[in-house]
């Protein structure tokens, strides 16, 4: 059973995560946080050491939701190609998934924090490497089970695949046009089928 303090901490994180994700670390003010939570500055900082600790907890919350959704995509299917198909299907609707998160945490936090918050930038890079590793594991298993063939090592292919996906996410976000995402993912489906399917 959770305590009142634990529930308050969880409430703060869930409430402020989309704000940090939308406005960035520097762009998020204390009044943004107090307005959203309905709590005083003292109440917020009674649960977190400082703004940096809160922003890290908020990013961890968002990235955990993303990683959990990706785990759902990449498990439970009988073949690597089916798992990859579920992954691309997830990214076709990625903007809908990230709407409640305030956008893509990897894109938003990664770019923003790269210039002004070393710890957040490091946490974002770790999330990227985790995602690439999850995709690479599916590819490795597919090669091992003789389901797919790869022109390059699994991790390299995973990095290229994720780079194309994130590029599409970035363009869809910048241009406010989800066709960038849909068209790129449709191309990736063809590429995966043609290049690595047996």
pLDDT one-digit tens code per residue, 24-63: 988 999 999 999 999 999 989 888 989 999 999 999 999 9
pLDDT at 4: 83
- Among 58, 48, 78, residue whose Cα is nearest residue 16: 58
- The residue among 5 and 106 whose pLDDT is bigger is 106
What is d(CA 197, CA 195) in angstroms, rounded to the nearest whole number?
Answer: 6
- Compute the half-sphere exposure of residue 51: CA atoms within 13 Å on the CB side of its CA: 15
pLDDT tens for each residue of 114-165:
888 999 999 999 999 999 999 999 999 999 999 999 999 999 999 999 999 9
Domains, the chain, ordered by start: 4-195 (1.10.357.10)
pTM above 0.85, yes or no: yes
What is d(CA 59, CA 54) in angstroms, rounded to the nearest whole number?
Answer: 9
Total length of the chain: 198
What is d(CA 38, CA 50) in angstroms, rounded to the nearest whole number?
Answer: 18
Q: Is 173 in a helix, a strand, or coil?
A: helix
Whether residue 53 contacts residue 161, with contact meaning beta carbons closer than 8 Å, is answered with: no
- When pLDDT is averaged across residues 162-171 and rounded to a whole number, the result is 97
- As given in the structure block, the two tokens for residue 4 are 């009142």
Q: Is 102 in a helix, a strand, or coil?
A: coil
């Amino acid at each position: 059973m959770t305590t009142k303090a634990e529930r308050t901490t969880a409430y703060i994180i869930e409430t402020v995560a989309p704000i940090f994700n939308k406005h960035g670390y520097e762009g998020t003010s204390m009044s943004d946080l107090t307005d959203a939570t309905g709590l005083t500055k003292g109440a917020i900082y009674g649960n977190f050491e400082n703004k940096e600790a809160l922003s890290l907890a908020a990013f961890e919350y968002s990235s955990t939701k993303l990683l959990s959704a990706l785990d759902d995509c990449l498990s439970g299917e009988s073949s690597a190609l089916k798992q990859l198909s579920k992954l691309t299907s997830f990214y076709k609707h990625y903007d809908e998934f990230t709407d409640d998160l305030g956008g893509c945490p990897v894109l938003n936090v990664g770019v923003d924090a790269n210039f002004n918050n070393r710890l957040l930038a490091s946490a974002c890079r770790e999330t990227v490497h985790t995602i690439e590793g999850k995709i690479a594991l599916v590819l490795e298993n597919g090669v091992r089970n003789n389901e797919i063939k790869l022109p390059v090592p699994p991790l390299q292919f995973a990095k290229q695949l994720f780079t194309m996906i994130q590029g599409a996410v970035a363009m869809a976000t910048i241009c406010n046009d989800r066709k960038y995402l849909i068209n790129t993912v449709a191309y990736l489906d063809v590429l995966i089928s043609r290049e690595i399917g047996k």
